[in-house]
Amino acid sequence: MIIVKVMGGLGNQMQQYALYRKLLSLGKNAKLDLSWFEDKKLQAGILAPRELELRRFAHLPMKVCTPEEKRRLTGSGSIASRIVRKLTGNRKVFEEYEMYHPEILKMDDTYLVGYFACNKYYADILPGLRKDFIFPVSSNEETARRNEEIRREMESGKEIPVSIHIRRGDYLDSANAGLLGGICTPEYYAGAVHLLEKRFPDDVLHFYVFSDDPAFARECGFGSKGEPVTVCDWNTGEDNMLDMELMSHCRCHITANSTFSFWGARLCSREDPVFIRPLRHRNNQIPEPEEMHALWEGWILIDTDGKTV
């Protein structure tokens, strides 16, 4: 059996789930471990406590491991057990330390810990995942109406809809800023927008901006041709995940270094989509452009200076 630990926010949960589905597609006996969400002590050091949002997708198929199955691979969980595992090197527990680990696709009897953000893990099964990630409808009638209105607008064909994601919130906290801040610079967004203006010179681009700081997003200028800009600020609280669903209806995607907007792009089923992401995800990873192009095939990479690499 191979068990994938589920943890973090919605984007990370979807990546761990996608890896689980990839393992199943390879004929592995794979299951998910959801215990991270059941024990609040495991989230004690996190700035924003998380909930298991995977359960909000309607009828999402998943098999969950039992505590006994987890213990068989990880040990008892006691302090003594953790010390022994650290000293001896328990090969049954694998923790992610690189951007891509192809070896895990060949493993058995392993407990996998990581976020597995790399697109190469599950790019080939995304068509199936798009059908399985069925978003809920907001219980707020006005919110549901506005979402449907924007979806129709995006799908009308009158303009080319472009999603822009700006992640601030916990990325601005001193605990995260050094690791995740300073990557999606104004130059990054300007370079991405300029690239799209050059690619579609005879079309009208409509920028749909999604952010956890909509007031800041309204202060940002996008486009040099007076293109329409809509700041999507109505999906709040538990409806926040519906921003991702709206993103997926856009044809072009300017993502942040955020798994949330990565999935807004991945779930896009349009013909000839354009996916743009920052070269780096975290400041402690200095990726080689050639390697990143192989791991994120079909995506456009832009650095902090706004240059395409």
For 49-99, write each residue's pLDDT tens digit. Answer: 789 999 999 999 999 999 999 999 998 655 655 565 555 555 699 999 999
Give pLDDT, residue 18.
98
Question: Residue 224: which domain range?
Answer: 138-302
What is the domain-level CATH number for residue 291?
A: 3.40.50.11350
For 250-259, write each residue's pLDDT tens digit. Answer: 999 999 999 9
How many angstroms separate the CA atoms of 120 and 226, rounded? 37
In a domain, 272, yes or no: yes
For residue 2, what are the contacts with CB-CB under 8 A and spacing of at least 6?
Answer: 23, 28, 29, 30, 31, 107, 108, 109, 110, 111, 112
Residues 81 and 164 in one domain: no
Residues 189 and 217 in one domain: yes
Give pLDDT, residue 88.
54
| pTM score | 0.92
8 A C-beta contact, residue 254 and residue 189: yes
How many angstroms separate the CA atoms of 43 and 274, rounded? 36
* pLDDT for 286 beyond 60: yes
Say which residue, 291 or 42, is predicted with more confidence: 291
In a domain, 68, yes or no: yes
* pLDDT for 44 beyond 70: no
| Average pLDDT value for the chain | 92
Residues 100 and 219 in one domain: no
8 A C-beta contact, residue 254 and residue 193: yes
Task: Count Cβ neighbours within 10 Å for each residue of 70-97 and write b for 16 or more, e otherwise.
Answer: beebbbeeeeeeeeebeeeebebbbeee
Structural domain tally of the chain? 2
Encoded amino acid at 175, one letter: A
| Residue percentage of the chain with pLDDT more than 90 | 83
For 201-214, write each residue's pLDDT tens digit. Answer: 999 999 999 999 99
Tokens for 16?
């761990």
Residues 146 and 279 in one domain: yes
Residues 61 and 16 in one domain: yes
